[in-house]
Each structure stands twice: as structure tokens, then as C-alpha cells.
Structure 1
């Protein structure tokens, strides 16, 4: 029984360390990307709709996700059109024609995204939550082993 507890504690510790490393890497990647980015104004031109079906309690629930497509002029004056990979469910987050702040890579203007908290930091935030959960579970397991 003691070996099983010890093994579970070690596995959880390894998972916690892996989650921490991934979270730190993603945070650093986002931070450096933001520091290097060029900021400008763009405009929403349309939305791509995707319907996702989820089966819950013998019922099918459909959710429509709206992925914005936006355009902006880069530092050379070229018009760039980008489809966002960050969508919002049930209703669009923006209106067609709405002006938004865009950030893009100085090396590749097609590597652009809308400058908002959800698209920039939500993945890091979720990873951080998982890291905290696994760390807490690891702490509880290790504390019971002592």
C-alpha cells in the first residue's frame, strides 16, 4: 500500500512539473510575442460560423461558434486579411465593420490576432489553473505519505 501511495505521489509530482513547465513556456512565448508585436487598428469584415454538436444526457446540444475575419494595413501599407482561430460561442464578440486593435508579428503580418485578453491570455490562464490543481493534489498526496 505504501508503494502505491509513493508511486501516485511521484506521478502527480511529475505531471505537476510538466504542467508548470508548459505554463511557463506558453507565458514566456506570449509575453515575448506581445513585446515584439506591432499594434494597429483593423476592421471586422465577416464571421465564419461553425456548429458544434455535443451529446449530454441523451440530448444533442448545438452551439454555433463565430470566428472573426479581420483586415488591416501592415507597416508597408499592404492590406492583410486574417481569419482568427479564436471563436466565441452563441453570438459574435464583435460586429461586422467594427474597428478593433490588432497585433501582428514584424516578421510576418499574416501572423496577426485581435488584441484582447481572451485570445492572448486564456490558454495560459487555463494551463495555470491545471497546474494549480495538479500541484494541490500532489501536495495532498505527499502530505498523506508523511
Structure 2
């Protein structure tokens, strides 16, 4: 391989991945904003915290366990009781059992609901956006550096 081909190839892949991540960010953010704009709001109560434990092996070969807590929230809409588990978990838990939380739900389908906080709603777009904002310029710089060498 010539001197500039590897940085050009790697840079192109990183830049393309970054652009895809930025597009995903836009789609997620617009979808979330659209949902929140049309959603009804009410208060819900955290009725349960579900623990999910994952195990990974660190660079020294030791197993590392971490537990993430996902709140289950109950709320009332149209005289009926609904319940959902948040897709966003935390360690330590972000909410306590019995705590009141704001809920946004689709008035046409109240089972489609989420905790109405910034991090619960926009964690996905924040993560993909941050990765896209790192990958795109780094990939572009590698790509251009590799192109100059060839």
C-alpha cells in the first residue's frame, strides 16, 4: 500500500460514519421534538426500579460488573392507569421509588409514554451527535492528509 492510502481509507470511513451519525442525530432529535410537541403531559409515580447488571472484562482481565437502574412509571390518562419502563437507566438511580416525575404521552395512544426530562428524551441524540461531531472532522482531516501524500 502506498504511504497515503491507509489514512485516506481510514479517514474516509471515519468521516462517512460521522456523517451517518449526524444524520441519525437529526432524525432522532426531530422525532423526539415532534413527539414532545404533540404529547399530553401529566405527573407519574415511580413504582419500581429494575436493576440490569452487565459484566465486562477490563484490560487487566478482571471482570467488572455494573448495575443500571431503570424506573417503571405509572400514570393516569383518560381515567385509565398506564405503566411503562423508561428506556434510560442510571447508576446510581436517577429516581427513587414513590417519586413523582413528569410524563409525556401520546394522546391517541397513552401507552406510548416517556419521562418528560431533557436527558430521558434527548440522551440518544446527544450521544450520536457527540460521536458524529468527533468522527466527522477527525475522519476528514485523516482523509485530506492521506490524499496529500498520494
For normalisation by structure 2, the TM-score amounts to: 0.85
Q: How many residues align?
A: 144
The alpha-carbon distance between structure 1 residues 36 and 58, as it changes in their structure 2 partners (threshold 3 A), is same
The alpha-carbon distance between structure 1 residues 8 and 45, as it changes in their structure 2 partners (threshold 3 A), is closer
The alpha-carbon distance between structure 1 residues 12 and 46, as it changes in their structure 2 partners (threshold 3 A), is closer
Match runs of 1:88-103 below 5 Å: 88-89=90-91, 91-103=92-104
Task: Provide the residue aligned with 1:118 in structure 2.
Answer: 119
Task: Provide the residue aligned with 2:29 in structure 1.
Answer: 27
Distance in structure 2 (CA, Å) of the matches to 1:3 and 1:65? 43
Task: Give the superposed CA RMSD.
Answer: 1.8
For normalisation by structure 1, the TM-score amounts to: 0.87
Match runs of 1:31-46 below 5 Å: 31-46=33-48
Distance in structure 2 (CA, Å) of the matches to 1:42 and 1:59? 40
Higher relative contact order structure (alpha carbons within 8 Å, sequence separation ≥ 6): 2
Distance in structure 1 (CA, Å) of the matches to 2:69 and 2:93? 5
- Structure 2: runs of 5+ lacking an equivalent: none
Equivalent pair of 2:44/2:102 in contact (CA under 8 Å): yes
Distance in structure 2 (CA, Å) of the matches to 1:30 and 1:97? 26
- Structure 1: runs of 5+ lacking an equivalent: none
